[in-house]
Amino acid sequence: MNNTETQGLNHPVHVICGTARIGSQDIALRSGDVLIATLVDAYMSVYKGKDQSIAQRMRWWQAKIGHHTLLSVDEDHIYFALQELSQQSARYYCGKDADGKPIYKSKKRPYTPATLNRYVASAGALFTWCIRQRISPKGWTHPCRGIERRPENNEITRFLSTAECERLIAACKASTWPKLYLLLLLGITTGARRGELESLRWRDIDLERQQAYVYATKNGDKKVLPLTDVVVKELSRFVEAPDRLIIASVKCPSKPFSHEHVWHKALKVAKVHKFRFHDLRHTCASYLAQDGATLLQIGDVLGQRQQQVTKRYSHLTTGHKTELVNRVLGSIN
């Protein structure tokens, strides 16, 4: 099973007499008697990837199948757990409480096929890691191997209309958090992912060249974000120490500010419905497509390796293609 979530793992493993010390866990090798809950803790202790949401999914798997041993868990456990999850309302992370525990709110709609597939990928990454670390018995059957991926409808994209964009800009400017307008501008004009923007530090910004440098993208590539004049002007209002996060939390500067509450409030004020922060990325791509950018150019801006992913914007580039065909082939009669 091909899982990108197995990337980014650091393996400080010390093998002694049939056991391995992984993080703070002593794991028996090849026995299969280790609890899934223990394996999840060991896996997460060495996970160094960039997926900030994997911890939530792994905690869910720990709660659902953590009491099973590696040898006893099978495809049915994975299948029926996913069936149960598919009937529940999706939740989103909205910060932490006073005790530092994560807070999740319901979206009042089911989990999407794409999200369910990510849950399978997370479990699959754990089991693949167990095989590679020689924790599983020889010839052990991977429990996710027979789980079918749900078809994902990635062709439907949500982006801001001109009127919605104007209202949202006004709402963000009036927000109690002074950097919400800056974050909105960065999202629309760079097409960067939320995690990429939240990881930016002031040392990554070159105001003179009007560029931002992302060193930890989803696919592992480095990326340069061009900055518009308006973004540079807004950034200049907040310049701080080089090591400080641009979107830093006031109470905990080493972490990004939890902006979900002010973001959703701005959406409500602007009367923009069914719109996620990730849709700013779609908005960037859609605006580029409608102004004549090619799919290759859009993919380059978004940092997408596969043009197949960028094809979701192809219906917006019809004007550009019509112009190209008429210019090159219009004389044929």
Tell me, what CATH number does 267's domain have? 1.10.443.10
Let me know whether 75 and 195 are in one domain.
no
pLDDT at 161: 93
Alpha carbon distance 171, 267 (integer Å): 8
Judging by DSSP bridges, how do beta strands 25-28 and 19-22 pair with one another?
antiparallel
Let me know whether 195 and 272 are in one domain.
yes
Per-residue pLDDT of the chain (333 residues; tens, 9 = 90+): 444 444 555 555 454 447 878 877 788 888 899 999 999 999 999 998 777 788 889 999 999 999 999 999 999 999 999 999 998 887 766 666 666 666 666 677 788 888 899 999 999 999 999 999 999 999 999 999 999 988 876 555 789 999 999 999 999 999 999 999 999 999 999 999 998 999 999 999 999 999 999 986 665 668 899 999 999 999 999 999 999 999 999 888 889 999 999 999 999 999 999 999 999 999 998 888 888 787 788 888 887 665 656 666 666 666 655 665 566 666 665
Q: What are phi and psi of 245, to 5 degrees?
A: -65, 140
Residues 6+ apart with CB under 8 A from 164: 270, 272, 275
Let me know whether 185 and 236 are in one domain.
yes
| Structural domain that includes position 223 | 162-328
Nearest to 106 by CA among 90, 93, 120: 90
Residues 6+ apart with CB under 8 A from 88: 110, 111
Let me know whether 174 and 259 are in one domain.
yes
In total, how many domains does the chain have? 2
Q: Is the dihedral of CA 239, 240, 246, 250 positive or negative?
A: negative
Q: pTM for the full model?
A: 0.60
pLDDT at 93: 61
pLDDT at 16: 46
